[in-house]
């Protein structure tokens, strides 16, 4: 809900100032109180009295001085009130995010569900109230305080702010309610009547029926669950179409790209990228599928069964060797138990990293599989945790370019895969790497598939559930899925919770996975430089749009027609056992050397040569970000096509490689 208000009503274009080059990585200072997760509980409602009082006083002071400079005492008071607003909002966001963790940990228990809905609605209303007061501040002589804190242009961006209408507030609240209805359908199922009996999953398991009856009832329960979820989706499509209409967009797909995710690429750009992915990426994924036997997969799964602490123990050596600050962050994560990654029967099947700004920290939640994916999921989430942990930008001013955030996570997955040889015996390190590569390519292809499917759904809101099922089957075949003869539709799209909770989100897996591959190829050739690029990217603002961020760190533009074919060629060479030569051009270091030679002459040459043997250092002084992900973001023969279902090996409701 927070992102929607930020994007829909403000359309902020807040870009931070240029970051200076440095010879040493410097992370922005921020407070990280030594508070364990248990010390943050229980989650209680947010008392908004002090915040509303501060906003009222702030608005009054700014209105009084709308035409004069005011006095020094009033300026000090305005600044103090503004800082109080930031602090109170940190507390509200933290409570809301903690409540989402509790909701998922308890399987959507009624009490946890009610508190999250209450805090979510409160966020919607109070963020709106904050921006109304800050708009008055922006129009006053104190607008420069906003620019100092949020970046040049913050005050200007607020001058045209319009508040939420009652209708918009009601639509947002209904959207949250529908998402929870979907959660409950997927977690608990829907009863069915068959042969005179009413069946649920629980009654079926306890009935002791024969195999034929069990199969028939199971199939009926699955079909009814998917049908009910599809009906909820139609209501969400209608609601979101109305939100887009109120914001003067032609359809919700256009709205989501522009306002919800502030992407610097269009639906038209993505259409071309999808075709390139089908042409160049799909054949390589099919090759990986053919080269990974079910026997190897089962053996790796047995060797990778670990509890949560064992997963963290396995990852820690890689993190310790990657970067000193990253190692310190990982130790902080463990010392204060800022994670819940153990198996628990009530848990919803989700995984994500969420910010806890009141504590200057974050939290990792994951419902594990009990196989190799627990390693990849956890290192993935730690990529988000690391960036979030060092962010100092307030949530009031942050944007949410998830394409950038997903590079942090997916690139770290790929780089960790190189350590698998020391984790697993025999050739299972290579099996693990191939599976991670398969999942990265799956991110690209499924990112394109679900984006194409959702765009069609929102551009044609009159489609029925049955028509959506047929559409998904048709599109899936273009991306390599295969079906038994006579199958005309596929309702499995309802299993992907992103379709419901984070619409049009999935394409960010595709763009970021392509850039993660690009960075990984650099890592294979020059690990030090690749680590430097990764750290630079993690220190960049998530408010910097995807293509701008990629250009800033000198990775290749995936929308350039030559990039995807080049990435595919390099991956094929790697799979053939050949040495990969990084295809991108990186000239920043050469420019810096030339400048040093001009200034310092021959005496500096030795120093320059020494620096060339070390990672280049482009430190970022600013870290503007939003939560690395939405608290409701959910995880998850030789014929030239994939078997039925989302997972080529068995698990149809598999989480995507992140998630988040």
pLDDT, mean of residues 39-46: 97
Which range (89-93, 136-140, 244-248, 600-604) has the least confidence? 600-604
The rounded Cα 60 to chain-centroid distance in angstroms is 39
Which range (336-340, 441-445, 473-477, 631-635) has the least confidence? 631-635
Residue 109 confidence (pLDDT) above 50: yes
Neighbouring-strand partners of residue 354: 363
At residue 512, the 3 state secondary structure works out as helix
Pick the residue with more confidence: 588 or 85? 85
pLDDT, mean of residues 58-87: 86
Decide if 366 contacts 351 (C-beta within 8 A): yes
pLDDT, mean of residues 513-541: 94
pLDDT of residue 371: 94
Q: Kindly write down the DSSP assignment for every residue of 572-592, as one continuous string.
A: HHHHTTPPP---S---HHHHH
Give the model confidence (pLDDT) of 590-623 as tens digits.
Answer: 444 343 334 344 333 333 333 232 222 222 222 2
50 domain-assigned: yes
Neighbouring-strand partners of residue 193: 198
Give the model confidence (pLDDT) of 406-451 as tens digits.
Answer: 999 999 999 999 999 999 977 899 999 999 999 999 999 999 999 9
Task: Find where tokens 């104190």 sit.
Answer: 142
Q: Provide the phi-psi class of 107: left if phi over 0, else alpha when psi is between -120 and 50, else beta.
A: left
Which range (22-26, 40-44, 157-161, 245-249) has the least confidence? 22-26
pLDDT of residue 38: 97
For residues 597 and 600, give the distance between their C-alpha atoms in angstroms, rounded to a whole number. Answer: 5
Band the pLDDT of 586: cuts 50, 70, 90: low
For residues 475 and 169, give the distance between their C-alpha atoms in angstroms, rounded to a whole number. Answer: 35
Q: Give the residue from 147, 164, 181 where a domain finishes.
A: 164
Neighbouring-strand partners of residue 356: 361
Pick the residue with more confidence: 405 or 639? 405
**pLDDT above 70 covers what percent of the chain?**
82
139 domain-assigned: yes
Q: Give the residue from 100, 135, 164 where a domain finishes.
A: 164
For residues 133 and 54, give the distance between their C-alpha atoms in angstroms, rounded to a whole number. Answer: 10
264 domain-assigned: no
**pLDDT above 90 covers what percent of the chain?**
66
Q: Environment class of residue 111 by beta-carbon count within 10 Å: exposed (0-12), middle (13-18) or buried (19+)?
A: exposed
Give the tokens for residue 87.
């602090």
The rounded Cα 586 to chain-centroid distance in angstroms is 28
43 domain-assigned: yes
* CA nearest to 542, candidates 373, 394, 329, 356: 394
For residues 375 and 368, give the distance between their C-alpha atoms in angstroms, rounded to a whole number. Answer: 9
Contacts 24+ apart (CB under 8 A), 36-43: 36/336, 36/337, 37/336, 37/337, 37/338, 37/339, 37/340, 37/363, 38/337, 40/94, 40/98, 40/356, 40/359, 41/98, 41/102, 43/95, 43/98, 43/99, 43/102, 43/115
**Exposure b/e, 360-390, CB count within 10 A at least 16 = b:** bbbbbbbbbbebbbbbbbbbbbbbbbbbbbb
For residues 534 and 553, give the distance between their C-alpha atoms in angstroms, rounded to a whole number. Answer: 9
604 domain-assigned: yes
Pick the residue with more confidence: 418 or 651? 418
Which range (25-29, 304-308, 428-432, 616-620) has the least confidence? 616-620
pLDDT of residue 223: 94
DSSP 141: T
pLDDT of residue 11: 40
Task: Find where tokens 């959506």 sit.
Answer: 468
Domains contained in the chain, number: 2
pLDDT, mean of residues 504-509: 93
Decide if 407 contacts 512 (C-beta within 8 A): yes
Band the pLDDT of 146: cuts 50, 70, 90: very high
Band the pLDDT of 394: cuts 50, 70, 90: confident
Band the pLDDT of 581: cuts 50, 70, 90: confident
361-366 and 339-340: which strand pairing? Answer: parallel
Longest Cα–Cα distance of the chain, Å, equals: 92
The rounded Cα 103 to chain-centroid distance in angstroms is 19
Residue 660 confidence (pLDDT) above 60: no
Residue 132 confidence (pLDDT) above 50: yes
Give the model confidence (pLDDT) of 459-505 as tens digits.
Answer: 999 999 999 999 999 999 999 999 999 999 999 999 998 899 999 99
* CA nearest to 497, candidates 644, 630, 353, 632: 632
For residues 163 and 325, give the distance between their C-alpha atoms in angstroms, rounded to a whole number. Answer: 41
547 domain-assigned: no
Q: Give the residue from 164, 183, 211 where a domain finishes.
A: 164
Task: Find where tokens 């080049």 sit.
Answer: 566
Band the pLDDT of 53: cuts 50, 70, 90: very high
**Mean of the per-residue pLDDT values of the chain:** 83
Instruction: Give the list of residues 6+ apart from residue 551 with CB closer than 8 angstroms, or none.
Output: 557
Write out the H or E segment, with its range, that includes residue 198. Answer: strand 197-199
For residues 651 and 162, give the distance between their C-alpha atoms in angstroms, rounded to a whole number. Answer: 46
Decide if 500 contacts 232 (C-beta within 8 A): yes
Dihedral sign from CA coordinates of 438, 296, 419, 613: negative
pLDDT, mean of residues 46-67: 90
Instruction: Give the list of residues 6+ apart from residue 41 with CB closer than 8 angstroms, or none.
Output: 98, 102
Instruction: Give the list of residues 6+ apart from residue 428 with CB closer than 8 angstroms, or none.
Output: 296, 299, 300, 303, 420
Find the helix packing angle between 211-246 and 166-188, rounded to 10°.
Answer: 170
pLDDT of residue 138: 93
Find the helix packing angle between 72-105 and 110-138, rounded to 10°.
Answer: 160
Residue 246 CB neighbour total at 10 angstroms: 14
Decide if 9 contacts 132 (C-beta within 8 A): no
Give the tokens for residue 120.
């979510």
For residues 282 and 301, give the distance between their C-alpha atoms in angstroms, rounded to a whole number. Answer: 25
Q: Environment class of residue 442 by beta-carbon count within 10 Å: exposed (0-12), middle (13-18) or buried (19+)?
A: buried
Residue 651 confidence (pLDDT) above 70: no
Task: Find where tokens 């988000």 sit.
Answer: 384
pLDDT, mean of residues 157-168: 82
CA angle 27, 87, 353 (to 5 degrees): 55
Decide if 418 contacts 433 (C-beta within 8 A): yes
Decide if 419 contacts 318 (C-beta within 8 A): yes
557 domain-assigned: no
Task: Find where tokens 């009814």 sit.
Answer: 224
Which range (153-167, 260-274, 293-307, 577-591) has the least confidence? 577-591
Residue 5 confidence (pLDDT) above 60: no
256 domain-assigned: no
pLDDT, mean of residues 564-578: 96
pLDDT, mean of residues 145-157: 90
Torsions phi, psi for 607 (to 5 deg): -65, -40
For residues 20 and 436, give the distance between their C-alpha atoms in angstroms, rounded to a whole number. Answer: 35
For residues 630 and 3, give the distance between their C-alpha atoms in angstroms, rounded to a whole number. Answer: 9
pLDDT of residue 316: 97
Residue 166 confidence (pLDDT) above 90: no
Question: 158: domain range?
Answer: 35-164
At residue 409, the 3 state secondary structure works out as helix
pLDDT of residue 154: 87
pLDDT, mean of residues 290-297: 91
Helix residue ranges, H only, 355-401:
373-389
Decide if 482 contacts 636 (C-beta within 8 A): no
Tell me the pTM: 0.80
For residues 254 and 611, give the distance between their C-alpha atoms in angstroms, rounded to a whole number. Answer: 47
pLDDT of residue 66: 60
Per-residue HEC secondary structure of 51-117 comes to: HHHHHHHHHHHHHHCCCCCCCHHHHHHHHHHHHHHHHHHHHHHHHHHHHHHHHHHCCCCHHHHHHHH
């Amino acid at each position: 809900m927070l992102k929607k208000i930020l994007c829909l009503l403000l359309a902020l274009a807040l870009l931070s100032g240029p970051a200076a080059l440095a010879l040493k990585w410097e992370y922005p200072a921020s407070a990280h109180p030594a508070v364990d997760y248990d010390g943050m509980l229980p989650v209680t409602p947010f008392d908004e009295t002090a915040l509303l009082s501060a906003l009222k006083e702030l608005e009054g002071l700014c209105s009084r001085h709308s035409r004069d400079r005011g006095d020094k005492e009033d300026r000090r008071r305005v600044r103090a009130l503004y800082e109080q607003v930031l602090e109170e909002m940190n507390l509200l966001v933290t409570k809301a995010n903690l409540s989402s963790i509790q909701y998922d940990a308890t399987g959507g228990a009624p009490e946890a569900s009610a508190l999250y809905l209450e805090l979510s609605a409160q966020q919607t209303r109070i963020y709106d109230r904050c921006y109304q007061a800050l708009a008055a501040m922006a129009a006053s002589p104190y607008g420069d305080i906003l620019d100092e804190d949020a970046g040049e242009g913050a005050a200007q961006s607020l001058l045209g702010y319009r508040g939420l209408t009652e209708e918009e507030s009601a639509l947002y609240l209904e959207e949250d309610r529908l998402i929870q209805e979907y959660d409950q359908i997927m977690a608990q199922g829907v009863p069915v009547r068959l042969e005179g009996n009413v069946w649920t999953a629980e009654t079926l398991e306890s009935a002791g029926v024969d195999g034929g009856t069990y199969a028939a009832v199971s199939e009926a329960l699955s079909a009814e669950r998917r049908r009910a979820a599809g009906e909820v989706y139609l209501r969400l499509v209608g609601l979101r179409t109305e939100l887009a209409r109120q914001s003067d967009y032609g359809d919700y797909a256009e709205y989501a790209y522009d306002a919800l995710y502030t992407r610097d690429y269009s639906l038209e750009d993505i259409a071309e990228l999808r075709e390139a992915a089908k042409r160049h990426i799909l054949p390589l994924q099919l090759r990986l599928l053919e080269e990974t036997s079910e026997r190897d997969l089962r053996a790796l799964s047995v060797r990778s069964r670990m509890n949560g602490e064992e997963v963290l123990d396995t990852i820690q050596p890689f993190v310790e060797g990657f970067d000193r600050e990253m190692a310190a962050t990982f130790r902080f994560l463990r010392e204060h138990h800022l994670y819940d990654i153990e198996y628990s029967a009530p848990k919803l099947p989700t995984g994500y990293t969420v910010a806890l700004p009141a504590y200057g920290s974050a939290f990792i939640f994951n419902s594990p599989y009990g196989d190799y994916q627990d390693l990849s999921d956890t290192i993935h989430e730690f990529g988000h945790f690391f960036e979030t942990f060092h962010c100092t930008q307030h949530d009031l001013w942050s944007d949410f370019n998830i394409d950038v955030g997903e590079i942090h996570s997916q690139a770290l997955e790929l780089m960790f895969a190189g350590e698998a040889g020391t984790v697993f015996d025999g050739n299972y390190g290579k099996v693990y790497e191939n599976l991670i590569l398969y999942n990265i390519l799956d991110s690209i292809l499924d990112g394109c598939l679900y984006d194409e499917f959702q765009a069609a759904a929102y551009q044609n809101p009159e489609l029925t559930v049955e028509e959506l099922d047929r559409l998904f089957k048709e599109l899936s075949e273009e991306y390599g899925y295969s079906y038994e003869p006579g199958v005309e539709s596929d309702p499995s799209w309802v299993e992907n919770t992103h379709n419901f909770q984070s619409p049009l989100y999935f394409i960010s897996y595709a763009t970021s996975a392509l850039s993660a591959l690009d960075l990984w190829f650099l890592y294979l050739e020059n690990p030090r430089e690749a680590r430097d690029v990764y750290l630079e990217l993690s220190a960049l603002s998530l408010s910097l749009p995807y293509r701008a961020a990629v250009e800033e760190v000198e990775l290749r533009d995936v929308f350039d027609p030559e990039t995807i074919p080049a990435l595919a060629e390099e991956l094929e060479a790697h799979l053939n056992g050949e040495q990969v030569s990084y295809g991108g051009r990186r000239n920043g270091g050469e420019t810096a050397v030339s400048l040093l030679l001009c200034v310092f002459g021959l005496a500096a040459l030795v120093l320059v040569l020494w620096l060339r043997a070390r990672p280049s250092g482009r430190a970022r002084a600013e870290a503007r970000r939003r939560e690395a992900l939405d608290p409701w973001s959910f995880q998850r023969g030789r014929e030239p096509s994939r078997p039925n279902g989302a997972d080529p090996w068995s698990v149809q409701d598999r989480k995507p490689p992140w998630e988040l």
